[in-house]
Amino acid sequence: MRALSGKPDCCWTANAGPTAYPPLEGSIHAETVVVGAGIVGLTAALRLLEAGRSVIVLEGLAVGRQVTGRSTAKITTQHRLIYRHLMDSLGRDRAHDYATANITGAEQIRRWIDERGIACAFEQKPAYAYTQDPAIRAEIQAEAEAARRLGLSAEVVERAPLPFETAGALLFPDQAQFNPAQYLIGLAEAVRAAGGHIFENSRARLIGEASRWRAVTDGGTVHAENVVVATNMTVKSPVGMAHRTQPRSHVAMAFRIEEPSVIDGMFISIEEPSRSLRTGRDTDGHFLVVLGPHFRTGQDGDVAARFVELEDWTRANVPVGEALWRWCNEDYDTADRVPYAGEPDPEKAPGFYIATGFNAWGISNGTAVGMMIADRIAGRENPWTALYDPTRPYPEDFHKSGDSQSYVDSPDEIAPGDGGVIARGEEKIAAWRDEGGNLHTMSAHCTHKGCTLTWNNADRTWDCPCHGSIFATDGSVIHGPARVDLPKLDL
């Protein structure tokens, strides 16, 4: 395998300033504790604070550095071809709710950027869902008609303005893009300024109920009447979410471009393998962000090959220069393509709220969900409660778990910088060798449900092929639903 191009970092987080919120220490109280400082958590927190409520936000790592901050960050109501699907499968009313929720979410983002003066490279851009297959033109036309029936502005164009041939596209004008990490950092500052408290490096190891809800970290405890679990996949829920969703990952790269007009807009292909493109900028100029097709988390034994394929495709189709950054990101799909969010069990677990399953469209959806949860906590009606209902029916065969793709017979097979899983009876050992040749070993059983992990040879992480937990090389949790680090083991 050839060496991977670009720095192993995300273009958005690499160009976002640092944050310095303290870790939680001791025992404190607020009306609501929000677990997770992504777009759902911070939106809910700020809306509650604007309503005069008290809020504490716990972030396991740092604000803006996780799933939201590593997304493509398209502020758009165009979610590939979705509205015809929603009308056919859920009915016009639910499809209309989805459209209005995402319109409102996008408007809220724009309003906060303006009112709060958030510097986040916000730019108005058109959004295109394009095809290279003339046979798909009818699907584009049907989607445009469905979108217009729901109050959205949608057009069909003969070709997308891309430097390679297309056979037509669905155009949503007046959409937008931004740097999501910078936006979240600005949102966090607005939360702090409004009287909220944010604690970083404060992973919630336990979320439970006594006389009231409590979220326990390594350093302290928050007691609250309400808890919002906004951690991409819920780390706890009275109604199980793991089998209602399917974890998925994708690889992304950013390349320097000399002329930004070569990609003027936000683009995503309709057919597979999917490609998503948009531009961004930093202090050195403009760059192009390109995403490859998604794959099931932990079920690919050679993620590095996906970066090679993505770079080759990009250079063959777009005039780009140096590869600047490369990264993986993760999300969760739902069977009906609508997120799960709200209060799963108001009778047995009142005041417990979750949000998950954003199907890679979490910017506008995540904002709408955060607004909806805040409304519910504040005692206000919200028109999207039924749309996002986390207890709605789902096909029980939707979730597909897998097994580790990283088995080796001996640690001698593990090269410096690489990792593998060694079976020792029923026990599975995760082993990785650092650049100095030293071998590090720990349990390969995910601390969520015990599935055997896969080594991600691009990001150098341990990924769960069952429910999507991701661990660092040292075994510490990066993404849940796992809350406990991998225990060390001697080989």
CB of 243 within 8 A of CB of 237? no
pLDDT at 351: 97
Task: Examine residue 490 and state whether it is found in any structural domain, yes or no.
Answer: no
- 1 has a pLDDT exceeding 70: no
pLDDT tens, 254-279? Answer: 999 988 888 999 999 999 999 999 99
Cα Rg, the chain, nearest whole Å? 22
Domain encompassing residue 425? 411-479
pLDDT at 259: 86
Task: Examine residue 460 and state whether it is found in any structural domain, yes or no.
Answer: yes
Compute the average pLDDT of residues 237-246: 89
Provide the pLDDT confidence category of residue 237 given band limits of 50, 70 and 90: confident
pLDDT at 360: 96
Task: Examine residue 432 and state whether it is found in any structural domain, yes or no.
Answer: yes
CB of 429 within 8 A of CB of 443? yes
Residue 417 sits in a domain whose CATH number is 2.102.10.10
Other Cβ atoms within 10 Å of 227 Cβ, number? 26
Task: Examine residue 46 and state whether it is found in any structural domain, yes or no.
Answer: no
Other Cβ atoms within 10 Å of 158 Cβ, number? 9
Other Cβ atoms within 10 Å of 125 Cβ, number? 22
Task: Examine residue 220 and state whether it is found in any structural domain, yes or no.
Answer: no
Task: Examine residue 398 and state whether it is found in any structural domain, yes or no.
Answer: no
Compute the average pLDDT of residues 169-190: 98
Taking CA atoms, 167 is separated from 81, 317, 334, in Å, by 16, 15, 29
Rounded to 10 degrees, the C-alpha dihedral 155/161/164/170 comes to -10
Task: Examine residue 436 and state whether it is found in any structural domain, yes or no.
Answer: yes
Number of H helices, E strands in the chain: 8, 26
pLDDT tens, 316-367? Answer: 999 999 999 999 999 999 999 999 999 999 999 999 999 999 999 999 999 9
pLDDT tens, 129-176? Answer: 999 999 999 999 999 999 999 999 999 999 999 999 999 999 999 999
pLDDT tens, 8-66? Answer: 999 999 999 899 999 999 999 999 999 999 999 999 999 999 999 999 999 999 999 99
pLDDT at 106: 98
Domain count, the chain: 1
Other Cβ atoms within 10 Å of 306 Cβ, number? 20
Task: Examine residue 443 and state whether it is found in any structural domain, yes or no.
Answer: yes
pLDDT at 211: 78
pLDDT tens, 357-414? Answer: 999 999 999 999 999 999 999 999 999 999 999 999 999 999 999 999 999 999 999 9
